[in-house]
Amino acid sequence: MRAIKKPSKAIKEKLRRTERLIETLKKAYPEAHCELDYTTPLELLIATILSAQCTDVLVNQVTPALFKKYKQAKDYAVAPLADLENDLKRIGLFRSKAKNIKACCTVLRDRYRGEVPQTLEELIELGGVGRKTANVVLGNAFGISSGVVVDTHVSRLSQRMGLTKETDPKKIEIDLMALVRKEEWTIFSHWMIWHGRRRCKARNPDCAQCEWERHCLKRNVE
């Protein structure tokens, strides 16, 4: 019988540090949540696709009119591409996003009766949907812990805090999933994103006021 390998001393210490970090962020951001505005899984899916390389603030300015005009997947599927592009012209990369949304919603209409699927494998086959988008939708719209959302904030903070040495989002996600309890994968991403937007910014991080300052390894902090 193969012996079960025990966690190394270094791994145990990283797990303890992660638990302390979670407690710190939980106290700092008790109201943390997804900052994209939505009322249905489809709306969250569309908003998340639009949020790539774009701020949530701008997406939330565009989506009220968009969601009023396109209420179901079939509405996006049958819309002329030029019209959809015009509706999204304030968003960065709007042409490619319009094309992806139309393709995505065509599949939702034809294969899933207009409903957003609830598995990672099905979601990542849709146009414009990768692991990050799929994790956002599953975790927030359905309460399904499929993984950790690794956006630019989570990536930056995870490296600065010494939770990972990886730079590839997929590898960062694997490291974080090993450190964070599954039931906290979704909210952990929100805590990290809120901290990244409000305190640990890419440039000029507010280390002096940071709740985690005395524990932070500050890797790659200039």
**Burial class of residue 95 (count of CB atoms within 10 Å of its CB; 0-12, 13-18, 19+):** middle
The token pair at 62 is 């565009």
Active-site residue 132, yes or no?
yes
Distance CA 99, CA 54 (A): 17
* Active-site residue (options: 74, 151, 175, 218): 151
Distance CA 145, CA 136 (A): 10
Q: What amino acid occupies position 102? A: K
Helix (H) or strand (E) holding 20: helix 9-28
Distance CA 195, CA 202 (A): 11
The token pair at 214 is 């005395």
Distance CA 165, CA 219 (A): 9
* Active-site residue (options: 14, 97, 102, 132): 132
Active-site residue 83, yes or no?
no
Distance CA 93, CA 82 (A): 14
* CA 188 to the chain's CA centroid: 10
Give catalytic residue positions: 132, 151
